[in-house]
A = this chain, B = another copy of it.
Amino acid sequence: MKLCQVLGIVALGVASFVIGILIGRFAITPDLPGWLKSMSSDGEPKYRSELQKEIQADKIEQNLRYFSSKPHIAGSTQDEDVLASHIYQTWQSSLHGAKIYNYTVLLSYPNSTDPNYVAIVSSDGVESDVSEKVEKILSADQNDPTVVNPFNAYSPAGVIVGNPVYVNYGAVEDFHYLTRNLSMNLTGTVAIARYGKIFRGDKVKNGQTFGCAGMILYSDPADYVAGDLDRVFPDDWWLPGTGAQRGTVLNTDGDPLTPFYPATKSAFFLDEKDINLPLIPVTPIGYNDAEKYLSKMAGNEAPGSWKGKLNLIYRVGPGFAPPLEERKLKLYVKSYNVKRTIRNVIGIIEGQYEADRYVVLGNHRDAWVFGAIDPSSGTATMMELSRAMSRMLERGWRPRRSILFCSWGAEEYGLIGSTEWIEEMGKVLGPRTVAYLNVDLSLAGNSTLRALATPILHKLLFEAAKKVENPNPEEVKAGRKTVFDTWVANMPSSNNPSIPRVGDLGSGSDYSAFLQILGISAADVRYTYDQKYALSSYPMYHSVYETMDLVSRLMDRGFKYHQAVARLWGEMALRLSDDVILSLDCVQYAVTMLRIISDVEEAYGPLLHSKSITPDSVKEAAKEFEAAAQALHRRAENVNKVNPLEVRKINDQLMLLERAFVDPLGVAGNLLYRHVIYAPNQHNIYAASSFPGLAAALFDIENDPDQETRWLQVQKELSILAYTITSAANTMRDHRTIGEEGVQQ
């Protein structure tokens, strides 16, 4: 070869090489960096199905056996030391970290040597028909020296003697019936109220308001025994006549001595005399005891709806019927309040890309006694879910966002642990929390799923429930393969039977401070009993009979229902932590608000009209909200997922929408409840009111002597609603509209 040939060949080779490099470098669109690709992709679906497989029923059973083995009331060594430490150590070693938060708070206990009781007493002080001071032991696993006898937390101590009055459920309407229809003067009486329908603290508040000197709370079989009265526990899961429902009668949330601030080391503690504690003694009894008193009462026969299932004529009193007309009812309460340290345990799985976004899962740990249902069925589930996630971490999974597990202390006393934590950590949690998913207890029954949630989480709930295998083989056989199928069959929404009914969040559990103080979207799920029973709660609620034996023998043999709840909870958590775009549905909020408005129009339209008031401004705001929600979801669908800041912008709008419903001034001036669309009903904090400020303004308005003030209040509440909904709509708009006129989306 000639030199020029050689040079030519070399030149060709070099040129090819260089051209190749240039093409390789520039002409081929470079792949995005791996981290950016991963950051812009949803979590792999395989992890969700792996999580479902990993969750094991027998491990939940083991957990429940452990957690319900001994009484673990708030403030006890068992709850604050043994169980809290167990959870802490478990999470510390299996998750990315764990931390204990301590609070010193006011609790309440019965006197262990001088128990509370009720009796009939003669004018010379002789007592008869004395109530049981302890609940009768019906199976071996109820026998424990640390069982705390039936009492109502925060009842003042005191001995009250007075005429008995039967006040039905103790609702405002019930008291109105006695005072208005029967013109009864309740001053100094001892009210006998049956449990159910409304929160017991509201019953006591009402009794106090209407002048009663004391109150006895009992569980009527009408509300706690759907089956045959002869076949109760231990034969079936119905409440026996010896069971009494413990429970707090505090009407505030969180430590009563440090309202709105955390009960930490540097806290300022109010004096007990300066706070809003119940003023009248109150104690719970079982229906065997209640029968003794109710059967002897004088007065009118109670209205039909007041009648329970005891074999007697329900009479309203006041007083006992002859020959006992001189006798009185005596209420003996020796409970006391004391400061104790309670604990929350928080475990964290750190998110890979958005570690400063939190999906928070929580359950309380404290129980009135053994708590095998409330709350330990939830605790057992949460511990299994955290274990399953820790296994997945070992296998390489990392959520996009952080997941927090929370074990709350002293929920039973008034949501104390969760409220104190929100007070302490609110400034951290408020801007960062995606949602709070609560499981107070995993199962109140084994018939169907039941969920409470703000509308923004409904869609996710449905999607998740469709992914969870039906734990009931009979249902599967009938073609209802998933939890969703049974749910929608049992509880169809009244507006749309193709979706299940989701309840509104009252203040019954630890979601309250998340939603009501910070405006964090929240849900609460459990399996529950057949709604046809019309029970006030599951029968054994807060009695000594809530044990492992009850759950494992009569409610969830094999723990498949627990497992289903764990799976549902995990599915929701993974969707919220791993999806690039948050699965929050703003349109459902609009739909729900428009429905509430039409309910208001239906119920109050003519009355409002007679005062020349309309909810039109609220409706207009809701329609604007709907348009903004639809536009936001369109933007979410079309967002360039590769741009992390564009994704974050949309996600922040989705995440923060619920915050916009919080009014820092509180609903109708009540700073405990600040969510303008849903807050606990003024007369029953267990239940939620829609448009609670308006509902409070309209409640019993026709009987208010100061009509002018009340109607001004109605107008003010309508104005606050219109403002708040418009304000929430603004948060969903494109940022540009803040400075741009008339942009339609």
Chain A residues within CB distance 8 Å of chain B:
1, 5, 9, 12-14, 16-26, 28, 30-33, 35-36, 39, 91-92, 95-100, 260-262, 264-268, 346-348, 350, 353-356, 358, 402, 404, 424-428, 431-432, 617, 621, 643-645, 648-649, 652-653, 656, 659-660, 664-665, 671, 715-716, 718-720, 722-723, 726-728, 730-731, 735-741, 743
Q: What does DSSP make chain A's interface, helix, strand, loop or mixed?
A: helix
Q: Which of A20, A96, A617, A649 has the most chain B CB atoms inside 10 A of its CB?
A: A20
Given known A25-B28, A267-B719, contact A260–B741 (CB-CB < 8 A): no
Across-interface contacts of A665 in B (CB, < 8 A) = 260, 671
Query: In the bound complex, do residue B719 and residue A266 qualify as a contact, i.e. CB atoms below 8 Å apart?
Result: yes
The one of B25, B96, B261 in contact with A736, judged by C-beta atoms closer than 8 angstroms, is B96
Given known A24-B22, A348-B736, contact A741–B353 (CB-CB < 8 A): no
Across-interface contacts of A12 in B (CB, < 8 A) = 9, 12-13
The one of B261, B402, B645, B736 in contact with A353, judged by C-beta atoms closer than 8 angstroms, is B645
* Chain B min CB distance to A422 (Å): 11
The one of B32, B348, B644, B738 in contact with A428, judged by C-beta atoms closer than 8 angstroms, is B738
Q: Closest residue to A620 on the B side, CB-wise?
A: B266
Give the CA-CA distance A644 to B722 in the complex, in Å: 37
Give the CA-CA distance A36 to B640 in the complex, in Å: 13
Query: In the bound complex, do residue A356 and residue B652 qualify as a contact, i.e. CB atoms below 8 Å apart?
Result: yes
The one of B20, B264, B265 in contact with A21, judged by C-beta atoms closer than 8 angstroms, is B20
Across-interface contacts of A617 in B (CB, < 8 A) = 265-266
Query: In the bound complex, do residue A39 and residue B645 qualify as a contact, i.e. CB atoms below 8 Å apart?
Result: yes
Query: In the bound complex, do residue A716 and residue B268 qualify as a contact, i.e. CB atoms below 8 Å apart?
Result: yes
Give the CA-CA distance A353 to B100 in the complex, in Å: 39
Copies in the complex: 2
* Chain B min CB distance to A189 (Å): 37
Across-interface contacts of A660 in B (CB, < 8 A) = 427
Query: In the bound complex, do residue B356 and residue A735 qualify as a contact, i.e. CB atoms below 8 Å apart?
Result: yes
* Chain B min CB distance to A339 (Å): 16
Query: In the bound complex, do residue B261 and residue A649 qualify as a contact, i.e. CB atoms below 8 Å apart?
Result: no
Give the CA-CA distance A660 to B425 in the complex, in Å: 10
Pairs A-B, 4 closest by C-beta atoms = A20-B20, A24-B24, A348-B739, A97-B740
Give the CA-CA distance A428 to B664 in the complex, in Å: 15
Give the CA-CA distance A10 to B285 in the complex, in Å: 98
* Chain B min CB distance to A27 (Å): 9
* Chain B min CB distance to A206 (Å): 28
Across-interface contacts of A265 in B (CB, < 8 A) = 617
Q: Which of A350, A428, A617, A671 has the most chain B CB atoms inside 10 A of its CB?
A: A428
Across-interface contacts of A26 in B (CB, < 8 A) = 24
Query: In the bound complex, do residue B431 and residue A431 qualify as a contact, i.e. CB atoms below 8 Å apart?
Result: yes
Query: In the bound complex, do residue A738 and residue B39 qualify as a contact, i.e. CB atoms below 8 Å apart?
Result: no
